[in-house]
Amino acid sequence: MKKSKIYEETEIDQHGEVKSKKSVSVYESKKDDFYVKLYLENISYLKDLTKAEILVLFALTKYITYKNTVHITVAIKDKISATYDLTAGTIRKCISGLHSKKWLINTSRGTYIINPEFIGKGSWGNISELRGQLHEVNDFIHRK
C-alpha cells in the first residue's frame, strides 16, 4: 500500500506577497518484491530438468545473493521440503541433478553459484561480469 505526503512550498517576495506556490507529493511504498532475472534465450534448457528439480531451483532463487551464490543449509532444505512436500532425499537428488546439468556450480561444501547464463540477480553489469569470470575459469580448466 502506497502512502503519500503532500508538502506545500510557498515563495514569498520581499513585500510579503505570494510569488509562487506549489505542492510536492512524496510517495512511499513497501520494499520491492523479491525478484531474479530468468534469461529467456536459455529457457529451453528447463526441459532437461525434472519437475522436482525445477521446484528446487526456483525455491533456491529466493536465497540467492547478488553474486548469484546460494548457501544451501539444513534450514533452507527444511523450508523447501515443507513448501513443496519433498523429502530430504529428493532435495539432495535435485541439487545433485542441478549440479550435473550445470544449473548449479559448486564452490564449496553447501555453497553453489546459480549459473548466471540462466538466472541472475542484480544489475546486468554485475551479472555480465560474473558470466565473464565463469567463462575464464572454464577456459582455464579446459586448457589443462
What does the pLDDT look like over 27-58, one tens digit per residue?
665 565 667 888 888 888 999 999 999 999 99
Lowest mean pLDDT across 3-7, 76-80, 82-86, 129-133: 3-7
**Does residue 4 lie in a domain region?**
no
**Does residue 46 lie in a domain region?**
yes
d(CA 131, CA 122): 13
- Which of the four pLDDT bands, split at 50, 70 and 90, describes residue 1? very low
**Does residue 7 lie in a domain region?**
no
Average pLDDT of the residues in 116-144: 78
Q: How many domains does the chain have?
A: 1
CATH number, domain of 119, equals: 1.10.10.10
d(CA 101, CA 50): 11
User: pLDDT tens-digit profile of 72-82?
Assistant: 999 999 999 99
**Does residue 6 lie in a domain region?**
no
**Does residue 22 lie in a domain region?**
no
Which one-letter DSSP state was computed for residue 104?
E
102 within 8 A of 93, measured Cβ to Cβ: no
36 within 8 A of 64, measured Cβ to Cβ: yes
* 142 vs 78, residue with greater confidence: 78
**Does residue 105 lie in a domain region?**
yes
Grid cell locating 40: 529467456
Domain coverage including residue 47: 37-143
